[in-house]
Chains A and B, each alone.
Chain A
Amino acid sequence: MTQEPTADRVVDSRGTLCPLPVVDTKRAIDEMASGQILKLLATDPGSESDMKAWSRRTGHQILYAKTEDKVFTFYIQKS
Chain B
Amino acid sequence: METKTPAPKRLAIIASKGTLDMAYPPLILATSAVAMDMEVAIFFTFYGLDILKKKKTNSLKVAPLANPAMPMPVPNILGAIPGMTAIATMMMKRMMGKQKMPTIAQMLDMAQKGGVRLIGCTTTMGVMGVKKEDLIEGVELAGAATFLEYAADADVSLFI
Interface residues of A (CB under 8 A from B): 15-20, 22-23, 25-27, 50, 53-54, 57-58
Contacts across chains A and B counted by CB atoms under 8 Å: 40
How far, in whole Å, are A40 and B26 apart by their CA atoms in the complex? 25
How far, in whole Å, are A56 and B107 apart by their CA atoms in the complex? 24
Interface assignment of B32: CB less than 8 Å from any CB of chain A: yes
Residues of A within 8 A of B31 (CB): 19, 23
Residues of A within 8 A of B32 (CB): 18-19, 22-23, 50
Interface assignment of B3: CB less than 8 Å from any CB of chain A: no
CB contact between B36 and one of A17, A27, A58 (< 8 Å): that residue? A58
Residues of A within 8 A of B29 (CB): 19
Interface residue stretch chosen among B76-84, B95-103, B137-145:
B95-103
* Interchain CB contact under 8 A, A54 and B100: no
Interface CB pairs A-B, < 8 A, 29 = A15-B99, A15-B100, A16-B99, A16-B100, A17-B100, A17-B101, A19-B28, A19-B29, A19-B31, A19-B35, A20-B102, A22-B32, A22-B35, A22-B36, A23-B31, A23-B32, A23-B110, A23-B114, A26-B35, A26-B36, A27-B35, A50-B32, A54-B36, A57-B9, A57-B36, A57-B37, A57-B38, A58-B36, A58-B37
Residues of B within 8 A of A54 (CB): 35-36
Interface residues of B (CB under 8 A from A): 9, 28-29, 31-32, 34-38, 99-102, 110, 114
Q: Which of the listed residues B9, B34, B35 has the most CB atoms from chain A within 10 Å of its own CB?
A: B35
How far, in whole Å, are A63 and B99 apart by their CA atoms in the complex? 29
Chain B residues touching A, majority SS: loop
Residues of A within 8 A of B36 (CB): 22, 26, 53-54, 57-58
Distance to closest chain B CB from A20 (angstroms) = 7
Distance to closest chain B CB from A70 (angstroms) = 15
Distance to closest chain A CB from B159 (angstroms) = 20
Q: Which of the listed residues A23, A25, A53 has the most CB atoms from chain B within 10 Å of its own CB?
A: A23
Residues of B within 8 A of A23 (CB): 31-32, 35, 110, 114
* Interchain CB contact under 8 A, B28 and A25: no
How far, in whole Å, are A53 and B38 apart by their CA atoms in the complex? 13
Residues of B within 8 A of A20 (CB): 100, 102
Residues of B within 8 A of A22 (CB): 32, 35-36
